[in-house]
Amino acid sequence: MAKRIDASNVTAYYGAFKAIEDINLTVEPKTVTALIGPSGCGKSTFLRSINRMHEVLPGARVEGDLTIDGQNIYDRDVDVTAVRRMIGMVFQRPNPFPTMSIFENVVAGLRLNGLRKKSILDEAAERALRSANLWDEVKDRLGKPGAGLSGGQQQRLCIARTIAVEPQVVLMDEPCSALDPISTLAIEDLMFQLKDKFTIIIVTHNMQQAARVSDRTAFFSIEKTGDPGRLIEYDNTQKIFSNPSQKKTEDYITGRFG
Amino acid sequence: MTTTIANHRTRPPAQPATLRARRLPRYAPPAIALAALLVAAAVVYGTGIGGPVLVVVVAALLYLAGLFAASNAVEGRRSARNRTWSALIHSAFVLAVLPLASVVWTLVSKGVERLDGDFFNTSMNNIGARDPNGGAYHAIVGTLEQVGIAALITVPLGILCAIYVVEYGRGRFAFAIRFFVDVMTGIPSIVSGLFVLAFWVLVVSPVFNDGRPGFSGFAAALALSVLMLPTVVRSTEEMLRLVPAPLREGAYALGVPKWKTILRVVLPTALPGIVTGVMLAVARAAGETAPVLLVAGGGAAINFNPFENNQSSLALFVYQQAGDASKYAPARAWTAALTLVALVLILTVAAKLLARRNRLGR
């Protein structure tokens, strides 16, 4: 199920502005990889270029190769929707669809892609909600609006919605930054469980979180404002947080910079 | 030395010793209002310079001044300003609602006279100047058909146009479309009527009509479409822009194609606002007289077929009856005006209810 991701010389632009330059890294299947770095260093941009969400913004484009199990997702004949079905994404702020119920939110990906059979949808919804540790809290009110849940529940609903389409990679863009510590813990626990089935890449500003949840950590940084972000160091999480090989990484994780 | 002066100048106002402050008693504002009214009445009627309207105006000014003075003396300057501005804002609201209330009252009081079965069941066919009966059945049919057809034309066209401009349009072409939609908003209704007269009635329709110009309800619907389209496009555009980008991205991230995202996520989210815009356009179209007069020609008989022969409409009916010599005509005009307002109101409420049913309000 889970897939290996290879980025080579990935460079992304917003119009004329170069946001990241020459990112090279490999993400192994069924691992959690954390992207850390100061604000504006391009980690979210890199994350969004992995499922071709970067190009959604007007004027944004990506150069370089990004391959999923050897297949370049930026090839001309690649279907963008197929890429995004394979690589799901959870956003910084929970974004349940406001016109849909909890149930409809979870099965939105399946239903909007043409699956109609009620029994299959019911089953998929329960499975996804159980995987997202949300089933017990919402099983009696699946018909209620998704926007009526608490922030942490909404975010788990969005995770359930993402894994309901059974992607192979799950990208998370600061999924806990709008949440309280208890909801954060619930989502971190969830990541440990999801790791069995999915490859997970998470952007976080919280270094403790990166240390807790990830197997590998990539540190991004910029020289100064206006410069493109670069990958400074990419290694096992333990090594990054105990004995980084780059001075910059050390400065950042010890809080001397950024 | 300089630093102390600077500090002195920028220091925040002294903190009050207590959070409590003296307040005007609750009966004070109404008492001031009453006093203002009495004084105003005494002054206006005493000097004989005006009637009740002037009393209210003078009383309002006196009330504002009195309220400010009383509050300033007891509560201090900030509260006084707050109370005066609140009172001003409330007065503005009353001023804005007054004309509406007045219109509704006039319509109901004058329209109720002919609000009978006859009015809704008969047309003006063979109704002479001495006949007290006669009705607007033909006009109601005309309005419903013309506005209905116009809505059928403009709603899909307008929503698709707005979707293009917001979701797909890039660069000059989209800019040009938006510019011309804005220009269209300013077209006077008589011009759109003339356009349809010149283009459809006199040039295109004779081809299907043995060479005779085809005045018809459909031509009126075309003219109304020209008026409705910019309203629908602009309001839909604004509503689509209000749908947050993360919702679209959330759907894209599930592998949902763009067109399906627009259809199933963006449009439902914006639906209540779009319905409001459409109903504004419908209300405007239903109230138009000039284009219908020009291209549908009016007519006293019931004509269900919008594609052939003259048709009337409620607005046109009002116009014709108001100018008619018969002494029974003004009553018919008032009732027709009341019917028109009620019709638009019913349509608006129905549309809002329909739009809300799709939302999860439980």
> What domains are defined for chain A?
5-253 (3.40.50.300)
Confirm or reject contact between B170 and chain A (CB < 8 A): yes
Give the residue from B170, B239, B254 with the most A CB atoms within 10 Å of its CB, the best one to mutate.
B254
Structure tokens at B234: 């602009």
B338: Cβ contacts below 8 Å, ≥ 6 apart: B107, B108, B111, B112, B115
Torsion over CA: B309, B311, B316, B317 (sign): positive
Which pLDDT value is given to residue B2?
Answer: 47
Q: In this predicted model, which residue has the larger pLDDT, B4 or B241?
A: B241
What is the C-alpha separation between B164 and B176, in angstroms, rounded? 12
DSSP3 helix / strand / coil % (chain B, rounded to 5): 75, 0, 25
Q: Is the pLDDT of residue A48 over 80?
A: yes
Residues A8-29, mean pLDDT to the nearest whole number: 92
Residues of A in contact with B165 (CB under 8 A): none
Q: Is the pLDDT of residue A184 over 90?
A: no
Residues of B in contact with A53 (CB under 8 A): 249, 252-253
Q: What interhelical angle do B137-163 and B217-242 show, nearest 10? A: 40
Going by the DSSP 8-state scheme, the letter that residue A233 receives in this structure is: E
How many CB atoms within 10 Å of residue B353? 10
B145: Cβ contacts below 8 Å, ≥ 6 apart: B217, B221, B304, B306, B311
Helix (H, G, I), strand (E, B) or coil at A202: strand
**What single string gives the DSSP state of each residue in B291-355?**
HHHHHTB--SS----TTSS-B--HHHHHHHHHT-SSTTHHHHHHHHHHHHHHHHHHHHHHHHHHH
Confirm or reject contact between B273 and chain A (CB < 8 A): no
At A253, which amino acid appears?
A: I
CB-side neighbour CA atoms (13 Å) of A55: 14
Q: Is the pLDDT of residue B253 over 70?
A: yes
The torsion angle over the Cα atoms of residues B192, B195, B199 and B200, rounded to 10 degrees, is 30
Element (H, E) at B258: helix B258-261
Q: Is the pLDDT of residue A2 over 70?
A: no
pTM above 0.90, yes or no: no
Domains of chain B, by residue range, sit at 23-110, 119-357
Interface A-B: count of C-beta contacts within 8 A: 80
Residues B274-285, mean pLDDT to the nearest whole number: 92
**What single string gives the DSSP state of each residue in B197-234?**
IIIIIIIIHHHHTTTS----HHHHHHHHHHHHHHHHHH
User: Mean of the per-residue pLDDT values for chain B?
Assistant: 89
Confirm or reject contact between B250 and chain A (CB < 8 A): yes
| pLDDT bucket at A123, cuts 50 / 70 / 90 | very high
| pLDDT bucket at B156, cuts 50 / 70 / 90 | very high
Residues B193-200, mean pLDDT to the nearest whole number: 92
Residues A201-229, mean pLDDT to the nearest whole number: 90
Going by the DSSP 8-state scheme, the letter that residue A215 receives in this structure is: S
Element (H, E) at B140: helix B137-163
**Parallel, antiparallel or unpaired: strands A5-14 and A60-68:** antiparallel
Residues of B in contact with A99 (CB under 8 A): 265, 268-269, 271, 358-360
Residue B243: alpha-carbon gap to chain centroid? 24
Confirm or reject contact between A114 and chain B (CB < 8 A): no
Sheet-wide strand order for A5-14: A17-27, A5-14, A60-68, A71-72
Going by the DSSP 8-state scheme, the letter that residue A225 receives in this structure is: T
Per CATH, the number for B119-357 is: 1.10.3720.10
Which pLDDT value is given to residue B1?
Answer: 45
B50-88 confidence digits (pLDDT tens): 888 999 999 999 999 999 999 999 888 999 999 999 999
Residues B31-37, mean pLDDT to the nearest whole number: 94
Q: Is the pLDDT of residue B300 over 50?
A: yes
Confirm or reject contact between B17 and chain A (CB < 8 A): no
What is the C-alpha separation between A145 and A47, in angstroms, rounded? 30
- Partner residues linked to A11 by β-bridges: A63
Distances from the Cα of B252 to the Cα of A18, A109, A248, B77, B238, angstroms: 24, 9, 36, 55, 22
Residues B251-272, mean pLDDT to the nearest whole number: 93
DSSP3 helix / strand / coil % (chain A, rounded to 5): 40, 25, 35
Residues A86-113, mean pLDDT to the nearest whole number: 92
Closest residue in A to B267 (Cα–Cα): A99
Closest residue in A to B265 (Cα–Cα): A97
